[in-house]
Amino acid sequence: MSWSHSGPPLKLRVDTNLHSHPRLGGRNVHGRTAETLQGDQCAIGRPSVLRMRGGEGIFDDIDKMGQSIMGNGLWKFVKLAIGWREKVQHTVEEDLEICRKITSRHVKKSNMVDRKLLYFISQGPTFFANPVTYLLRYMRGTEVQVAKAVSFLNENKDKLSTNEMKEHLSKAESKGGLGLTPARVSEALFRASIQVEEQQEEEDNKKHFVEEEDEELAAYQKKLEKSHKGTSSAGENKKIHKLATQKWTGTSGNVVKRLQKELIAIQSSGSFEVELVNDNIFEWYVTIEGAKGSFYEGEKFKLRFGFDEKYPTEPPEVTFVVQVPGWPLPEAPTTCASGDCPSQRKGGEWPARWGTRKHHCPIHPHIYTNGHICLSIIYDDWSPALGVEAVCHSMISMMSSAKEKEPPADNEMHLDAGQSGSAKKLKGWDFHDHEA
């Protein structure tokens, strides 16, 4: 007997209790479950057919007729040529397992979060409105990869930590991961609405350092120590941060090793004072001093370096620390400062025209009072050959060449426009640092 339904989807309740089915101990059951069953209350979708075991359908009659006319061997060849599909016979247990799997997929799909449209809009009108963007993504397989990543994140966000999920997404496919680039990992996290908390990320980063010395980094440190012997600072006891030579077990190992080598080099030479914010290898505070004979002689400032997994291919985020923890604020306005604030030399002035917004940034035509810096090498002119030390020297050079000690002419406009976010995301810098 064959029965088909062409009207609206019907509802079929399936009893998931195996003991309630007649097929126990080898007996046959008089009902079959359809492959379109979804959940405990499943719909029979159009144009599906529910085959009942009480009789034989027309396809069974054709099958027997073909076997009797052509013989079993030739009929099998004909069925293969025309794409004949045999009716799959399942046990009740197999039917129920299929139903459970489909139910599980249905539930996950209903809880799926994919802010794809919002992501495309956030990339700007050119990206969003350009049809070539979507065509290229599908041709390269990018969209399929990211969709898989979003599905993985939705399924595992309650089981795995954010860092573990990121590690799986970026791990090579040959090692069981998805092999996504850092940019595509960020896209997948955004589309799955998974926020990477900065504090949690710092804690995860710390967990990837093990109490074991990296032999390569230890050898590099000893080599630098030998090279610095005989210099003016040879007698000083250089203290290297404990994370500089520790072994890293997380992702982005090449980035971390590059940062560790730079940290060893700077602290071994004593060229600049470096501190890792909350022992986070991806965030540094570097203290610089104004050069002798410049407007900034006798003044100290702190630069913040924020690194990510794209370093050194892309530049770090470099800003001045607006208010350094533990430092007293400068006196403003004043004609003769006491010198208690490290960023304001003794006897220095702070005219009323500089404003009353107190901060620890240098007063310079290319340095805004929110810490943003208009310096080409940390944006468009960045090169992977550069590093933290090179940026610090360039900053001191730019400050030394200043012809006047004044804030940027558009400082207030820059602040009022709400440009207080990431300096790297700002567009339209008009660089004149060579004219400072």
Catalytic residue annotation: 374
Beta bridge partners of 247: 210
Answer left, alpha or beta for residue 265, where phi above 0 means left and psi between -120 and 50 means alpha: alpha
- Pairing assessment for the beta strands 300-306 and 283-289 based on DSSP bridges: antiparallel
Full DSSP string of 21-75: SS--TT---S----TT--SSEEEE-TT-EEE-TTS--HHHHHHHHHHHHH-HHHH
Q: How far is CA 247 from CA 203, 218, 243, 253, 316, in A?
A: 16, 10, 8, 10, 22
Query: Residue 412 corresponds to which amino acid?
Result: E
H/E run at residue 178 = none
Which residue matches tokens 């956030």? 122
Q: 209 and 243 in contact (C-beta within 8 Å)?
A: yes
Query: Residue 58 corresponds to which amino acid?
Result: I
